[in-house]
């Protein structure tokens, strides 16, 4: 059973032999950290302490980590409503993220934004959005400003396969190519727009060819291979920084949980259990865990567990916003 339509020019998975243990540990920590946070969100969600819908990245961690791990601290990221992974991979503050989910004043949006609108300007995480495709033109605008000012930065725009069907994607990638903007289009293709498979939505499903039709160099990462992704992005960035214009990368990936909220949705019948199991067998976190010595892995896991526990404790003890906060930051003064 093929989990992706017939496609060409995929970057094959990398044989991990020869990759330094330190690099494996770094990538494992970044991905495992994201998963542990979201596992805890799943665990407590039924208690109603989380005050907004959540779109979990479980299964898709390698996409954010593989891209953001190749960036510089001053590079910029815009992402989607399924943005926990990108926020954390770019260096967003975990405590402030969880506090935001709780609706607390110490949250990254002051308790007003929730899970789908995460931002940490200091980390270069410029925001996520609940509406499909809306951060793509924002990323283009930021990249245009970078070019006009002659700054040495790259902007990454994360979006899903469904966003490539929006007109704003085509307008934005054309404009970026025309103006040779310093932007990386990072498409997380998890096959589904809510419950609709790409084969049921697109007459031609090769997203790489869509990008190339605008003159944008593009590559696909098969099976969500985190090593291949990190290498490909690292190869693309120098050309982007040097004024070579945008690049496009399609990342084959898969979400394990339902579209929104915790738990499985296999019983809904729009995707097969066998498809989920195929992707779970390719799980990048499990792959890297098996490459690490047990003691090193345990030390990483223990440090992550302590950090996650403290983030949720911080959210629990933080205050809710004051009543007058309702009218703050609504209009620019």
The pLDDT score that the predictor gives to residue 227 is 97
The answer on pLDDT for 3 being more than 60 is no
- How far apart, in whole angstroms, are the C-alpha atoms of residue 52 and residue 218? 35
The larger pLDDT score, comparing residue 4 to residue 228, is at 228
Per-residue pLDDT tens over the stretch 142-158:
999 999 999 999 999 99
The pLDDT score that the predictor gives to residue 73 is 97
Sequence-separated contacts (24+) of 284-290 with Cβ below 8 Å: 284/31, 284/61, 284/62, 284/224, 284/225, 284/226, 285/28, 285/31, 285/32, 285/35, 285/61, 285/62, 287/16, 288/24, 288/27, 288/28, 288/31, 288/226, 289/28, 289/32
Name the band, by pLDDT with cuts 50, 70 and 90, for residue 1. very low
Token representation of residue 176: 């970026």
**DSSP-assigned beta bridge partners for residue 185:** 157, 248
Maximum separation of any 2 CA atoms in the chain, in Å: 58
Share of the chain above pLDDT 70, in %: 96
Name the band, by pLDDT with cuts 50, 70 and 90, for residue 85. very high
Per-residue pLDDT tens over the stretch 273-323:
999 999 999 999 999 999 999 999 999 999 999 999 999 999 999 999 999
The pLDDT score that the predictor gives to residue 22 is 94
What's the rounded mean pLDDT across residues 47-53? 93
The answer to whether 171 and 52 have CB atoms below 8 angstroms apart is: no
Per-residue pLDDT tens over the stretch 206-233:
999 999 999 999 999 999 999 999 999 9
- Annotation: CATH topology of 18-318: Rossmann fold (3.40.50)
Q: Mean pLDDT of all residues in the chain?
A: 94
What's the rounded mean pLDDT across residues 65-93? 98
The pLDDT score that the predictor gives to residue 77 is 98
Name the band, by pLDDT with cuts 50, 70 and 90, for residue 19. confident
Per-residue pLDDT tens over the stretch 160-195:
999 999 999 999 999 999 999 999 999 999 999 999
The answer on pLDDT for 136 being more than 80 is yes
Q: Give SS3 for 137.
A: helix
- The closest alpha carbon to 216, from 252, 164, 166, belongs to 164
The answer on pLDDT for 2 being more than 50 is no
Range of 9-13, 51-55, 135-139, 203-207 with top mean pLDDT? 135-139
| Element at 158 (helix H, strand E) | strand 155-160
Whole-model pTM: value is 0.94
The pLDDT score that the predictor gives to residue 143 is 98
Domain ranges of the chain: 18-318
The pLDDT score that the predictor gives to residue 329 is 82
């Amino acid at each position: 059973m093929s989990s992706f339509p017939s496609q060409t020019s995929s970057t094959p998975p990398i044989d991990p032999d020869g990759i330094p243990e330190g690099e494996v540990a770094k990538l494992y920590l970044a991905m495992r950290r994201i998963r542990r946070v979201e596992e805890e969100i799943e665990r407590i969600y039924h208690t109603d302490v989380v005050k907004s819908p959540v779109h979990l990245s479980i299964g898709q961690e390698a996409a954010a980590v593989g891209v953001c791990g190749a960036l510089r601290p001053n590079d910029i990221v815009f992402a989607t409503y399924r943005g926990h992974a990108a926020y954390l991979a770019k260096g967003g503050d975990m405590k402030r993220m969880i506090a935001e989910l709780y609706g607390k004043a110490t949250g990254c949006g002051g308790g007003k934004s929730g899970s789908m609108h995460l931002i940490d300007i200091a980390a270069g995480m410029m925001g996520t959005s609940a509406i499909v495709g809306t951060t793509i033109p924002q990323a283009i605008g930021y990249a245009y400003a970078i070019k006009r000012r002659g700054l040495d930065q790259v902007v990454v725009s994360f979006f899903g396969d469904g966003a490539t069907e929006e007109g704003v994607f085509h307008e934005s990638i054309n404009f970026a190519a025309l103006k040779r903007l310093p932007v990386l289009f990072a498409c997380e293709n998890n096959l589904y727009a809510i419950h609709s498979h790409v084969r049921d939505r697109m007459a031609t499903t090769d997203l790489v060819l869509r990008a190339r039709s605008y003159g944008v160099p593009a590559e696909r990462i098969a099976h969500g291979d985190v090593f291949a992704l990190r290498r490909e992005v690292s190869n693309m960035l120098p050309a982007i920084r040097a004024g070579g214009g945008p690049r496009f990368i399609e990342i084959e990936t898969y979400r394990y949980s339902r579209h929104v909220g915790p738990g499985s949705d296999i019983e809904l019948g729009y995707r097969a259990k066998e498809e989920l199991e195929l992707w779970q067998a390719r799980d990048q976190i499990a792959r890297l865990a098996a490459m690490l010595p047990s003691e090193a892995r345990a030390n990483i896991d223990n440090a992550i567990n302590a950090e996650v526990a403290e983030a949720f404790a911080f959210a629990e003890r933080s205050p809710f916003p004051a009543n007058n906060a309702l009218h703050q930051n609504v209009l620019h003064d």
